[in-house]
Structure 1
Amino acid sequence: MNNVASILILIFLAISFIQSGYDKLFYWKDNLDWLKSHFAQTKLKNHVPLALLNILILELISGVLCIVGSIELIVNNGRVFGLYGAIFSCITLIMLLFGQRLAKDYDGARTIVIYFIPAVMAVYWLN
C-alpha cells in the first residue's frame, strides 16, 4: 500500500464531486434559483443555467475519474485515471473559485481553496 494518501484524497474528491453533482442534478431548480440571485450583479447573470450545467458535467467527470483512479491504484498501481481525476478536480475548483470571486463571495472562495489544496497534492503525487 504505497499509495494510501493518494487513494484517500481521490476518494475524498470523488465523494465531494459526486455528492455535489447529485445535488445539482436532482435539485436543479433550487440550485438554479439560488445561483441566479447569487450572480445577479455579475456578468454571469444571463448565463447561470449554462454555467451550472458546465459545472455539473465537470463535477461528475471529476468524481467518476477519481473513483476509477482509486480502483486503478488499488488493483495495479496505475496512476492515469487518478491523475486525470485530480486534474479535472482542480479545473472544476478553479472554475468554482472564479465564480465565487466574481460574485464577491470571499467566504465561499475561501472554502473552495480548502478543497483545492488536496486536489493539487493529488496531481503532484500522481504525476
Structure 2
Amino acid sequence: MNNNTASILILVFLAVTFIQSGYDKIFYWKDNVNWLKEHFSKTQLKNKVPLALFNILVLELISGILCIVGCIQLFLNSGREFGLYGAIFSCITLIMLLFGQRLAKDYDGARTIAIYFIPAIMGVYWLN
C-alpha cells in the first residue's frame, strides 16, 4: 500500500471541493454574481463583486488542478511538490473566502470555511 494514502485523500478532498466550486462559478456565473452582490451589499466589496468572484475562481481552479496533479505525482513517484503547492493554494483561497465571509458578517459561513481549512493545513503539514 502507498505510504501517501492520507495525503492523497486530503488532496482529492481539496480537488473535489475547488473544482466543483469553480465549475459552479463558471456555469452559474450570473446567479453567483447576483447572490454575492446582495451578500456584500453593505461592505467595501459591493461594487467589486464580479472582480472578486473572478479572482476566487482563478485561485480555486489553480488549487484544484495542483491538487489533482499532486495526487498523480504522489501516486506515481511519491513526489510532493505539486501536492504541497495545491495545499498551500487551497489555504490561501480559503483565507480569502474567510475574509469575505467575515467582512459580510456571515459568521456561519466563516465557520464552515474554517472547517475546510483544517484538512488543507494538514495537507500543507504532511506534504512539507
Amino acid at match of 1:58: L
Amino acid at match of 2:107: Y
Q: Secondary structure at the match of 1:43?
A: coil
Look up the match of 2:111: 110
Amino acid at match of 1:43: Q
Structure 2 unaligned residues grouped into runs of 5+: none
Look up the match of 1:54: 55
Between the two proteins, the alignment pairs up a number of residues equal to 127
Shift of 1:74: 0.2
Q: CA RMSD in A?
A: 0.3
Look up the match of 1:27: 28
Shift of 1:101: 0.1
Amino acid at match of 1:51: A
Shift of 1:12: 0.2
Q: Which whole-Å CA distance do the structure 2 matches of 1:50 and 1:22 have between them? A: 17
Look up the match of 2:12: 11
> What TM-score comes out, normalization by structure 1 length?
1.00
Look up the match of 2:46: 45
Q: Which whole-Å CA distance do the structure 2 matches of 1:9 and 1:64 have between them? A: 14
Structure 1's consecutive aligned runs of 4 or more residues displaced over 3 angstroms after TM superposition are none
> What TM-score comes out, normalization by structure 2 length?
0.99
Look up the match of 2:85: 84
Q: Which whole-Å CA distance do the structure 2 matches of 1:124 and 1:42 have between them? A: 34
Amino acid at match of 2:73: E
